[in-house]
A and B are shown apart, each in its own frame.
Chain A
C-alpha cells in the first residue's frame, strides 16, 4: 500500500494527451511539499522527469508537464510517442516518515 495513490494504468494513442494523477494527504502533498515525477523505462533505473511540481530537468521534452493543487498532483504527457511507454511514479516528502514517499506507479501504454 503506497502512501501516494496513482492509477495502475493509463493508455492513449500516438499524438494524444494523457494525464496521471497522484493523490496524497495532509502529511505530504497537502502539507506543501513539492511533488516530483520519475519515468522508468523497462529494465532501467528511474529517471527524474519533473521536479518541484512543474519543472523539467535539462533534456526532458516540453511534452511533459506537471501541476499540483491541494493534496493532489498530475503529470500530463501531450503528443504521445511510442517511446513514452513506461512506468511513471510520483514522489513527495512525508513529515510523519521523515523521508520520501512514492506513488504505486502508473503503467502508460501507447496504443
Chain B
C-alpha cells in the first residue's frame, strides 16, 4: 500500500525556519517525481515545489523561490522541504504527493502537516 506521511509542521514566528519531511513507503520512491503542494486555511491548492527522481530537475513556485529548498534521500525513501524566511502567508497545510512524470497526475497524497506562521 502506498503511504506518504508528512511531519515537521508547527508554529513558527515570521522570519523563522522549519523543515518538513515526508516518509514514503509501498512503492519504488526513487522512480517518482515528488512534490509539495500547500493549502492555506479555507483556500485552494497551490503547487510549491517539485524534485525529479534523481534530483536532477528542481522547480519552485515564484511565491517561495529563494526561500524554500526541496531535497530527497532515495536511500531513506524521504522527501524534505526546508523553509526559511517564513511569512504569515506561508501558513497552510503542506502535502507531499508523488507524480510519475511531468504531465502526469499527482496520484497519491499524504495527509498533510500544518505550518502556522504567526507572531
Contact = CB atoms under 8 A, between A and B. Distances in A.
Q: Judge: A and B partners, yes or no.
A: yes
B47 A102 contact: yes
Describe B's contact surface by its main secondary structure: strand
Nearest to B109: A45
Interface stretch (A15-23, A67-75, A76-84, A93-101): A93-101
Contacts of B110: 45
A51 B105 contact: yes
B35 interface: yes
B95 A98 contact: no
Contact of B106 (A34, A91, A98, A103): A91
Nearest to B4: A45
B1 interface: no
Contact of B45 (A47, A51, A105): A105
B36 to A, nearest CB: 11
Interface residues of B, number: 24
Nearest to B96: A45
Chain A contact patch, size range: 20 to 34
B44 A2 contact: yes
Contact of B103 (A34, A38, A44, A45): A34
Interface in B44-97: 44-47, 49-50, 59, 61-62, 95
Contacts of B45: 38, 46, 89, 91, 102, 105
Contact of B105 (A91, A98, A101): A91
B68 to A, nearest CB: 13
Interface of A: 2, 33-34, 36, 38, 44-48, 51-52, 57, 89, 91, 93, 97-105
Interface of B: 35, 37, 44-47, 49-50, 59, 61-62, 95, 99, 102-112
24 contacts: A33-B103, A34-B103, A36-B105, A38-B45, A44-B111, A45-B110, A45-B112, A46-B45, A46-B95, A46-B106, A48-B106, A48-B108, A51-B104, A57-B107, A91-B45, A97-B62, A99-B35, A99-B47, A99-B49, A99-B50, A100-B37, A100-B99, A104-B44, A105-B45
